[in-house]
Amino acid sequence: MADRIQKVLANAGVGSRREIERWIKQGRLLIDGQPAQLGDRLAGGEKILLDGRPVRVVLSARQQKYYCIYYKPAGEITSRSDPERRRTIFQELKPPRQGRWISVGRLDINTLGLLLLTSDGELAYRLMHPSYEIPREYAVRLMGELTDEQLARIKRGVELTDGVAKFDQVRKDGGSGRNIWYRVTLHEGRNREIRRIFETLNIPVSRLIRVRYGPVSLGDLHRGDSRPLSAKEIGALYDAVGLEAP
């Protein structure tokens, strides 16, 4: 049975479904010499090109999937390439044996912490999609302590340029003076969302570290290091988005 091109390429680890849909809209994917369309299906044997380069997909083979977390330092970006030639996380990671790493969400250049990566495009797509409401937890260092009124505002919701944003949970986590730490949790990943929420309060964020994505935590991993996920962590990720683990 023919499957949609987004699903086939995502399962092969070519990219997440969201990335593949963007490539199709940009005209970067060709099937047998013709621009791919969002409704196209692959039955096997088609010649697929991405940016003029062949993409190999074997529909009948059950590909091994790979999973890891990486402690991203400040100064690295999550894109595969950068016109400014800044260092990317993919230069630091050994590629999987099959497919390629897909970053589950992004962290901006100044944000540190947990990046979840997999070669399973369908899993990555669901983990990022807001309908699955996967919680992300961050350690945030602020230049000053929040008042009760400010805490109430960011729990209730503040207006950003792309809609209302709020934290699911906020709690103080130590510090003193001009260096107060908080733990915040939210279930979406809009661009610079946490920093923008605190900007509405005129409180600068001096440090931002992602410490958890869904059931996977940073733990005692050191900055710049990576590790494979355990079988328990992998199973918990698939359970969180309603998929059967391989």
How far is Cα 246 from Cα 235, in angstroms, rounded to an integer? 9
CB 115 within 8 A of CB 211: no
What span, in angstroms and rounded, lies between the C-alpha atoms of 104 and 96?
15
Q: 173 CB contacts (<8 Å, ≥6 apart)?
A: 139, 181, 182, 183
Asked about 108 being catalytic, the answer comes back as: yes
- CA nearest to 1, candidates 76, 72, 48, 60: 60
Question: For 20, which DSSP code?
Answer: H
Residue type, 151: L
Please state, in angstroms and rounded to a whole number, the distance separating the CA atoms of residues 183 and 46: 49
Query: Can you tell me which residue has the tokens 């590790």?
Result: 227
CA distances from 7 to 37, 47, 192 (A): 13, 16, 29
Out of 51, 82, 108, 173, which one is annotated catalytic?
108
- Show which residues are catalytic: 108
